[in-house]
Amino acid sequence: MGNARQRLQEAKRIVVKVGTSTLTHETGKLNLNRIDKLIREIADLKNQGKEMILVSSGAIAAGLGKLGLDKKPDSIPEKQAVAAIGQGVLMHIYEKLFAEYGQVMGQVLLTKENSVQHHQYIHSRNSLLAQLAMGAVPVINENDAVAVDEIKIGDNDNLSAMVATLVDADALIILSDIEGLYTANPATHPEAELISEIPEITPQVESIAGGAGSKLGTGGMMTKIQAAQIAMSAGVTMVIASGSREGVLREVLTGQNIGTVFPARESHLRVRKSWLAFGKRLAGEIVVDAGCAAAMRDKGSSLLPAGVVACAGDFAAGSTVRVLTETQQEIARGIVNFDMSTLSRVMGHKSEEITRLVGENVPEEVIHRDNMVLMV
């Protein structure tokens, strides 16, 4: 355990994600006192020589306050309108507070499209790195004013993990309305215990994270677990901690035992590999047998048809898919060489049988190791 907490003390480039529940009062209006303390803490860490990036929710909540509304509208155009108004309000507050504490802020709006297209992924990365080099604090939000479900990253937990991957961050701190991941839902199970460290995202961890979160935000604990999967695989140490805790960032970054830590895997992924794994939309799933999973994990082998036991999703050749074990643990992601119907015919067969089944000039591998990212 000490190792992951120790690494946090050495973190130089840090992404902080703050959720709507941390930024708002029970009324849904902005909690200015808490926002002020958060910005002051980020500015102070910046003064210590750390590079800070803030991923912020709260545009819709800020818009509701400005418009005097007491609940989110139902239609997408109205939500986008409220977000557009709130984005300006929120950025004005951040700009004012960062300036008060002697810092320069840069506003960045991202959508999933920025990470699906490789050239946009690289542009987003270069822009963020340039802002850090200039000494600015990038403040990032999903572009709610124009995003629709197809292009939304879906929640700012996953957005923050994407950003941490983009900039090769050392740490990602997700501030939530609860202290971290518990053994059960603490609201309904008073005996639930906080889990200090989760070294691996197993199916059991996913099932613990199962329920929805607070009424103001969109993501429950499940989106935070998905974010952890991204962060850990990209070499980023992630922590979930309570946003209402005074001095929470300082405590996390001095290695104190608060929240839940998800230790980074050893190496940072190359830029192309992280785009492969996390930028592209997932189109399906492939289940492999134990021998195949071991060969991929221990020897870095490509995925061959013989090891595939099932597949799901309507994917085409060139799509990105998840690779699961028979116990439903995700072990890899990669670009598949077969479409769904072809893979259904060749799976379980040896390479020499494939030509007989589907004809000449077909790839030997379902996923070549160069187009695969291991998640374990």
Q: What is the pLDDT of residue 277?
A: 65
Can you list the alpha helix ranges (DSSP code H) found in the chain? 2-10, 20-23, 32-47, 59-67, 76-100, 113-116, 118-133, 156-166, 203-208, 221-233, 248-253, 271-274, 290-299, 340-346, 351-358
Query: What gap in Å lies between CA 106 and CA 109, rounded to an integer?
Result: 10
**What confidence category does residue 111 fall into, taking pLDDT thresholds of 50, 70 and 90?**
low
Q: Distance between CA 159 and CA 110 in Å, rounded?
A: 8
pLDDT digits (tens, 9 = 90+) for 8-26: 999 999 999 998 889 998 8
Q: Residue 169 and residue 167: Cα distance in Å, rounded?
A: 5
Predicted confidence band at 220 (pLDDT cuts at 50, 70, 90)?
confident
Burial of 77 (0-12, 13-18, 19+ CB in 10 A): exposed
Q: Do residues 270 and 302 lie in contact, with contact meaning Cβ atoms separated by under 8 Å? A: no
pLDDT beyond 70 at 99: yes
Structure tokens at 200: 């691996």
Phi-psi region of 341 (alpha: psi -120 to 50; beta: other; left: phi over 0): alpha
346 and 305 Cβ atoms separated by less than 8 Å: yes
Contact yes or no for 295/301 (Cβ under 8 A):
yes
| Banded model confidence at residue 155, pLDDT cuts 50, 70, 90 | confident
Give the integer Cα–Cα distance in Å for 208 and 184: 6
Give the residue-averaged pLDDT of 139-156.
Answer: 60
52 and 83 in contact (C-beta within 8 Å)? no
Please state, in angstroms and as integers, the Cα–Cα distance from residue 41 to each residue in 11, 46, 122, 123, following that order: 16, 9, 30, 29
What tens digit of pLDDT does each residue of 166-209 get? 888 999 999 998 899 988 877 788 888 999 999 988 888 888 87
User: Which percentage of the chain shows pLDDT scores above 90?
Assistant: 42
CA nearest neighbour of 144 among 23, 56, 38: 56
Determine the average pLDDT of the residues in 35-45.
Answer: 97
Tokens, residue 199:
């070294």
d(CA 249, CA 242): 10
Q: Are 242 and 19 in contact (CB under 8 A)?
A: no
More confident call, 154 vs 81: 81
pLDDT tens sequence across 54-74: 999 888 888 988 998 888 888
- What is the separation, in whole angstroms, between the first and last Cα of the chain? 18
Report the predicted TM-score, pTM, of the whole model to 2 decimal places.
Answer: 0.77
Flag whether pLDDT at 148 surpasses 70. no
Coil, strand or helix at 81: helix
What is the dihedral sign for C-alpha 121, 125, 130, 132? positive
d(CA 73, CA 102): 37
The rounded distance, in Å, linking the Cα atoms of 86 and 182 is: 33
- C-beta atoms surrounding 281 within 10 Å: 11
* Mean predicted confidence (pLDDT) in 98-122: 79
Q: What is the pLDDT at residue 308?
A: 95
Cβ atoms within 10 A of the Cβ of 328, count? Answer: 12
The predicted-structure confidence for 231-290, as pLDDT tens digits, reads as follows: 888 889 999 999 999 999 999 999 999 999 999 876 555 555 666 666 667 889 999 999
Domain ranges in the chain are 2-273, 281-374
pLDDT score of 294 more than 70: yes
**CA torsion, ordered 140, 83, 178, 53, to nearest 10 deg:** 10
Q: Which CATH architecture has domain 281-374?
A: Roll (2.30)
Average pLDDT over residues 221-226: 86
Asked whether residue 216 carries a pLDDT value surpassing 70, the answer given is no
| CATH code for the domain defined by 2-273 | 3.40.1160.10
Please choose, from the candidates 60, 62, 117, the residue with its C-alpha nearest in 3D space to the C-alpha of residue 94: 62
Q: What per-residue confidence (pLDDT) applies to 213?
A: 40
Q: What percent of the chain has pLDDT over 70?
A: 87
